[in-house]
Amino acid sequence: MSKTILFIDDDQVLQALVVHLLSKHLKDYTVLCASDTQQGLADARKHRPEVIVLDIMLQNENGWEAAEALKKNDETRHIPIIVASGAGSPFNGLPFIDPTLIAKYIRKPYNIDELVAALRDTIDITG
């Protein structure tokens, strides 16, 4: 059975780049991409990935709401979430954000080594 990473980001160029680069670094993993939170939530329930990489600033959507929905759903609550965002610290000025929703936070633009390290750390921590 293939191990899966779900990448939720509305930048399709970045999606293609991440799929290409992660396929070289994490050969045992399949990377699925979703461009919005609705598709991401459906894909998480259907494929049950080992980890989700979630952009917070999606076009006309809030990634934090997706993180909350994932953690409230019995089928997806166990899946660790790595937030990857260029929006600055995820908690500064946002006291309503629950830091327990995410396993890791990395700032965009990130380099592929940073993303791979975050994925490996998160996957190792959870299983």
Tokens of 93: 């000025």
Could you name the CATH architecture of 3-126?
3-Layer(aba) Sandwich (3.40)
Instruction: Give 4's strand partners.
Output: 30
What integer pLDDT is reported at residue 86 of this predicted model?
75
Q: For the chain, which residues score pLDDT lower than 70? A: 1, 87-98, 125-127
Q: How far apart are CA 7 and CA 66, in angstroms?
A: 13
CA distance 12 to 77: 26
- List the domain boundaries for the chain: 3-126
Token pair in block for residue 90 = 């995820």
Predicted pLDDT at 95? 46
Single out the residue of 80, 62, 78 nearest to residue 118, CA to CA: 80
pTM of the model: 0.88
* Contact yes or no for 5/32 (Cβ under 8 A): yes
pLDDT given for residue 87 in this prediction:
63
Q: Report pLDDT for 88.
A: 58
